[in-house]
Structure 1
Amino acid sequence: MNRREHLKLTGLTAIAAVTGTIPPASTARAQTSTGATSLLVNLGVYRYRVGDFTVTAIQDGGFAGPPLERVITNAEFPAVQAALADAFQPTDRFPITFTTLVVETGQHTVAIDAGAAGFFGPTAGRLPAGLAAAGIDTAKVDVVLLTHLHPDHITGLRTASGDLLFPNATIHAPEVELGYWLDEATAGRAADAAKPFFQNAVRVLGPVSGAIIRISGEKEVIPGITAIPAHGHAPGHTVYQIASGNDGLLVIGDVANNPALFVRYPDWQPIFDMDRPMAVETRRRLLDRAATERLHVAGYHFPFPAHGYVRRDGSGFAYVPAPWLPQYG
């Protein structure tokens, strides 16, 4: 096993350990339809424009997350607490939320990632209800773009009965991710705590793996949406830049988890990143791109509605949530 492979597996074991006990896939599927309604009073649905495209952010829910002191590997705990206090966020735990995007381009209806569907417990899996509230027919979604294959991004592709949530969609996924998570030998070398991540990928994507379109390198995957390699958080982690007219949105997936920490301090390394030094390089590169090009930025784990802007601030960056701008006339 080479050093890079060791880093990946070590990082994955840490992710599994820090997030706590992971329920078996059968349990997770059953939890999708129970309990969440009472825990999430309001469905998170938010619509905005990127040029001529319509983007709908749908909050899938989340979970309590790990104790805060276990999250960042290279910063003093009081500094982490201070950063969150400055952002008026909890300083004892690290709550994690999930936001899927649906992009309507006029040619395609595109889902970017698909939610956790109960993998981390019953407080996630609200994507189907959110789609219904937004008036989006799952049969009309014809493209799915995956940033990577961690369970909180792909489990929602399957319904509680095991059917595909988007039955008519062509799935696009990073080639490196598919090669990693669907590989039996790699799964066999993983720690027991990490094996459910591999098993989940096989369950969700294995039956349709032959039909998945593999993404590699930076290229336009459908008109107006370009895939950009963003490795580090996961072996083949990929982000998507949306362009319409003079407007743009950089969908950064898990490049930065909580903006109060990892946008403000991009060199801080969360335990969730499988190759942390590479993730830092990727984070700085993409945040700099967003600041330079004045792009909207959408983060999968950002506070809902999970989009805003990035500007340079000292040795790091600052995240500015996008204001709600009503249209008059």
Structure 2
Amino acid sequence: MKLTRRTMMQGALAGAALGGAGFAPRWSHASVALGDMTVETLSDGHLVLPADFIFGPMPKDELGPVLAANGMTPDAALTPECNLTLLRSGDSVILFDAGSGSSFQQSAGKIADALDAAGLAPEDITHVVFTHGHPDHLWGVMDDFDEPFFYEAQHFIGKTEWDYWIDPKTVDTIDPGRTTMAVGAQRRLAEMEDAMTFFEDGEEILPGVAARMTPGHTPGHMSFEIRSGSESLMVIGDAIGNHHVAFARPGWHSGSDQDQELGAATRMALMDQIANEQMRIIGFHLPGGGIGRAEKTADGYRFVQES
């Protein structure tokens, strides 16, 4: 391993973490074989969010029973997992999203430890593919010295998503509560421009990996269908952002989506497809590592976790 400021910092942080009392990370959550590929999820930690961040626009009289069925209450803080998808295919080691880095929330930004537990270092990642530009998916692309964290990797982002976050007007037009997101995305993407490859909806960006536009959460949010022969799964990012209301009532507007109406329409179409085809999905914020399926119920869907 090349000794740099980055690797020295990672070693120091890992040593401090492992010395903590009761430290028992579950870095690698779940894995599946897909033909001659292996797909697994690595933990970047979790977020801590106010309930209204998601539930704000939802009908309060109907929300309570849906949450109660999932052992939740409408006012409790949310602590969704952050699952990064790792695809090993031949000589390629492909990471979907880069995690939060150290500048977003203390409970997240743990990908260096997760990679170490998987026997990998940042330089082993050959490709980084972004679903979208929110902090928990993008900010980990740079280290604490503003250098590329995955410095040997080729980086991919949808052109629509790139154009939105790199546009200087976005900072002034985005919801005021998300201004910091826009500033942070613009800075990091500008720094990474020379390493970026852009793509459009429907393109096979890497062998067996096809892009699918799933907008609403952000303007250019992408999901990715990974296929080997007759087997497939879909990395859905935040197109389906949780295992409770997003499944039970996919048509409800979610406060986490930048375009709530479009996000709901995308979610309903995606849910219909994956339930009818019984396609495996990996959700960035779904529980237990995020791998599972959607099962139709009498009045919605439910998440069926695979371990």
Please indicate, yes or no, whether the TM-score normalized by the shorter chain is above 0.5: yes
Q: TM-score range by the shorter chain?
A: 0.7 to 0.9
1:321 counterpart residue number? 305
CA contact (8 A) 2:102 2:144 kept: no
**Is residue 140 of structure 2 the alignment partner of residue 140 of structure 1?**
no
With over 3 angstroms needed to count, the CA separation of the structure-2 counterparts of 1:240 and 1:317, relative to structure 1, is: same
Higher RCO (C-alpha under 8 Å, 6+ residues apart)? 1
Gaps of 5+ in 2: 1-8
**Is residue 140 of structure 2 the alignment partner of residue 156 of structure 1?**
yes
Q: State the distance in 1 between where 2:23 and 2:267 align.
A: 31
Task: Report the 3-state secondary structure (helix = DSSP H, G, I; strand = E; otherwise coil) of the residue aligned with 2:94.
Answer: strand
Task: Report the 3-state secondary structure (helix = DSSP H, G, I; strand = E; otherwise coil) of the residue aligned with 1:173.
Answer: strand
Q: Pick from 45, 50, 54: which aligns with 2:28?
A: 45
CA deviation string 1:258-279 (max 9, x = no partner):
1111012101211110111111
Q: Pick from 79, 83, 88: which aligns with 2:62?
A: 79
Task: Report the 3-state secondary structure (helix = DSSP H, G, I; strand = E; otherwise coil) of the residue aligned with 1:82.
Answer: helix
Where does 1:71-150 land on structure 2 (aligned, <5 Å)?
A: 71-89=54-72, 91=74, 92-150=76-134
Task: Report the 3-state secondary structure (helix = DSSP H, G, I; strand = E; otherwise coil) of the residue aligned with 2:274.
Answer: helix
1:308 counterpart residue number? 292
Gaps of 5+ in 1: 1-28, 325-329
The Cα shift of 1:139 comes to 1.4
Q: Pick from 254, 258, 265: which aligns with 1:274?
A: 258
CA contact (8 A) 1:52 1:245 kept: no
The Cα shift of 1:51 comes to 2.4
2:157 counterpart residue number? 173
1:56 counterpart residue number? 40
**Is residue 261 of structure 2 the alignment partner of residue 283 of structure 1?**
no
Task: Report the 3-state secondary structure (helix = DSSP H, G, I; strand = E; otherwise coil) of the residue aligned with 2:295.
Answer: strand
CA deviation string 1:133-170 (max 9, x = no partner):
01123212111110010111011111222222211111
TM-score (structure 1 length as normaliser): 0.82
CA contact (8 A) 1:55 1:103 kept: yes
Cα root mean square deviation, aligned: 2.4
The one-letter code of the counterpart of 2:79 is: P
CA contact (8 A) 1:40 1:123 kept: no
The farther-off stretch of 34-43 and 142-151 is: 34-43
Percent identical among aligned pairs is: 25
The one-letter code of the counterpart of 1:85 is: A
Q: State the distance in 1 between where 2:63 and 2:27 align.
A: 28
The one-letter code of the counterpart of 2:218 is: A
2:211 counterpart residue number? 227
Task: Report the 3-state secondary structure (helix = DSSP H, G, I; strand = E; otherwise coil) of the residue aligned with 1:319.
Answer: strand
The Cα shift of 1:213 comes to 1.1
Q: State the distance in 1 between where 2:172 and 2:288 align.
A: 37
With over 3 angstroms needed to count, the CA separation of the structure-2 counterparts of 1:119 and 1:268, relative to structure 1, is: farther
TM-score (structure 2 length as normaliser): 0.87
With over 3 angstroms needed to count, the CA separation of the structure-2 counterparts of 1:203 and 1:43, relative to structure 1, is: farther
Count of residue pairs the alignment pairs up: 293
